[in-house]
Amino acid sequence: MTMQTSTPQKVNSPKLKTYHANGPQTGDNISRQTLFWLLLTNIAVLSPLFDKTTPWTLGICAICLLWRMGIYVGKVAKPPRYLVTSLAVGAAITLALVSGEIGLLNALVNLLILGYALKYIEMRSVRDVRAVVIVGYFLIALTFIDHQSMLNTVHLMGVTIINTCVLVTLYQSKHNWQHTAWISAKLLLQSLPLALLLFLVLPRFAPLWLVPNMKEAQTGLSETLAVGDISKLTRSSALAFRVSFTDASPIQAELYWRALVLEDYDGQTWRQDTGIKQIQKDAFFFPPSRPTPARQFTPLTQQETNNPQPVYHYQVIAEPSHQSWLYGLDVAYSQDDKVVNLPDYRLYALRNVDQRMGYNASSWPKAKMDLTLSAKQRQINLKLPADSNPRTLKLATEFKAKYPEPKQRLWAMMGYFNHEPFFYTLTPPPIGRQQIDDFLFENKAGFCAHYASAFIFLARATGLPARMVTGYQGGEYNPQADYLSVYQYMAHAWAEVWLENEGWVRFDPTAMVAPNRIEQGFDAEFSPEQSYLQESPFSSLRFKTMPWLNELRQRFASLDYYWSLWVLGFNQERQNKVLSGILGDVTKTKVAVFMSVCISLIGLYIAYSVGLFRFKREQDPISAKYQRICQRLSKFGINRPAHLGPNAFAEQLIDTHQQQSPEFCREFDTLTQSYVALKYQQLADRDYQAALKRFNAAARALNWRLFGPSKQLK
């Protein structure tokens, strides 16, 4: 065995690539480890934006990814610049032409994604890598703005770590992937205190601008309703909103969540009246005023009736629907600045609900709606399409003749659905142009929209103003966090009829045909596998029939609910409450001092963690392991002189102990050779990893041999 007797020195050859203290310079070759992390980053960053990409954008991204994988395995060369430039110009022109269809903001997002993909495929230097990473951070932030659920936030934190790993490999390319991931995660953790401080202290300003239309697909109910629309929603397991009540909550049969009022019927489709649509359009600049229903119940009135009127206070967290209507129980009223109270007793958001939105509301179930009805409103809600449904008109005439008193007549109509052989189904048979006639006298099978439409038509035909109300009925209770979840499949339609001295009164003919649907919920009437689970094979709602899995599902849902409540719902009021608990009286001076102290502490910690305040320079991990083994040898009487290099010390030790401890000498020789290679030789990445693996294995073996009270080498 030949050993070096002198301490090796670092060799600086002009032919060898060197790493400077400030990292790789522009023009350096990109390491394979960096290319590997870039492959992962490209997939991780773009995958959450799949729903934003157009088909041609997705196709170009896939081509770029496949081409980069070919470059990574050495099968193809980098594309010429003119090809990349041509693709970029062509894609930009195409997006400009279709921006009117997909929306300006969607077009800009696609342009950024294309720029990211094309830069990714043509990068040639470290500077290009940095540009790709920076654009990746922009795309991550864009995804977070659009999807702020807890699960998505955790996912994006993982994507951020992967994106940061690319930067880490530019400066530490010889470490394994576990070390790279740890350094990236450590950098992210060090940034969290500053992020939390800014989240706590920065004021909650309303947006100063309106973003361009994203042209998102609307979710849930719409301002028009054909008889089959709600039955389509029953195949959706998507969450619509969640509700937590301050005190007691209503029973299942009273959970009618009002969303839309439809008054215009042309014989085929129900629509909102043009008047209320104009009020909605002008609500941002001219919010309508509607008095709170609490005015109907003064303390004196309640004492006279000796019957305190119930009131429900609750908070709603609405899921993104890209629509403006909100949800509330009758009669709902909200004092939130971002919510207006419409004249038809609905809640309406000033901006489309493009992100999760929380708001507070109160409901007075015994309050009356519109005790007086204007001539225009009466005309709107009595209008019937001309020359339609003659058989239904004849039936209405019979009801009016037999029951002249309005309320008695309405309940007789309700009883008609109970006595006749009507059937409640999600898949009703088709109906012709005379919808109501076909439903009442031919098919006698339908969904809630069929029953509500027929009831309203009958009421109007007898001279009673009536209208359609759509929303949701019911809710799934989560005992883990004490809130209700309302899903799209719970969409429902019912009727409201105006009565003298009572105002608008709710009538739900569905309750006469399928009472279990109203009293016990949707699942009591329909099989989930034939409705909302039919097109959702991976929905977590499939676990509802398995107790322990359902409990686990609700626990995860509770975590996401608390995230929405405490983080996304951290408004100005809660911010002031938290700051008051920390600072007492909140003043600008106290906030400035608090921020200065926190930022100083964070800066000191980061400075210490990077070694700025360490007067005694710490050894790198490789040297520390080697020195630790040399120190443990001293208890066996083997001391390394300070002037003796690693190879000379190993040669001396092996000559002395080869006969009595051959295994120990072999392991120490492996340790020394690996240590010298790692510290003093210019190794390629693959050779560096192999030498590091041999060094760590030899260090573990020697530590085990030198462990214990024995004074003899093993």
Q: Which residues are catalytic?
A: 448, 492, 508
Cα-Cα-Cα-Cα torsion 503, 504, 509, 512, nearest 10 degrees, comes to -50
User: Which has the closest alpha carbon to 341: 276, 296, 295?
Assistant: 276
Q: Residue 1: what residue type?
A: M
357-363 and 312-318 as β-strands: parallel, antiparallel, unpaired? antiparallel
Chain Cα centroid distance, residue 553? 17
Backbone φ and ψ for 446, nearest 5 degrees, come out as: -175, -175
Pair 94, 56: CB distance under 8 Å:
yes
In our burial notation (b when 16+ CB lie closer than 10 A, e otherwise), range 640-652 reads beeebbbbbbbbb
Quick one: tokens of 90? 């062509």
For 118, residues 6+ apart whose C-beta sits below 8 A from its C-beta are 60, 64, 84, 87, 88, 91
| Paired residues of 349 in beta bridges | 339
Pair 219, 322: CB distance under 8 Å:
yes
Contacts 24+ apart (CB under 8 A), 549-557: 551/480, 554/478, 554/479, 554/480, 554/481, 555/480, 557/478, 557/480, 557/481, 557/485
Pair 146, 169: CB distance under 8 Å:
no
Pair 452, 466: CB distance under 8 Å:
no
Q: Residue 605: what residue type?
A: Y
Q: Residue 522: what residue type?
A: F
How many residues are there in the chain? 714
Collapsing DSSP to helix, strand or coil, 245 comes out as strand
Cα-Cα-Cα-Cα torsion 268, 272, 274, 277, nearest 10 degrees, comes to -150
- Determine the Cα–Cα distance for residues 437 and 386; give it in Å rounded to an integer: 14
Residue 331, preceding peptide bond in cis (omega within 30° of 0): yes
| Paired residues of 504 in beta bridges | 498
| Paired residues of 333 in beta bridges | 362
Quick one: tokens of 324? 């403006």
Pair 164, 187: CB distance under 8 Å:
yes
| Paired residues of 369 in beta bridges | 503
- Determine the Cα–Cα distance for residues 629 and 709; give it in Å rounded to an integer: 15
Quick one: tokens of 551? 């409990």
Quick one: tokens of 428? 């009703």
What is residue 438's DSSP assignment?
I
What is residue 333's DSSP assignment?
E
Helical spans, DSSP H, in 202-320? 229-233, 274-281, 299-305
Cα-Cα-Cα-Cα torsion 233, 234, 240, 244, nearest 10 degrees, comes to 150
Measured CA distances, 661 to 69, 159, 612, 648, 652 (Å):
50, 50, 44, 18, 14
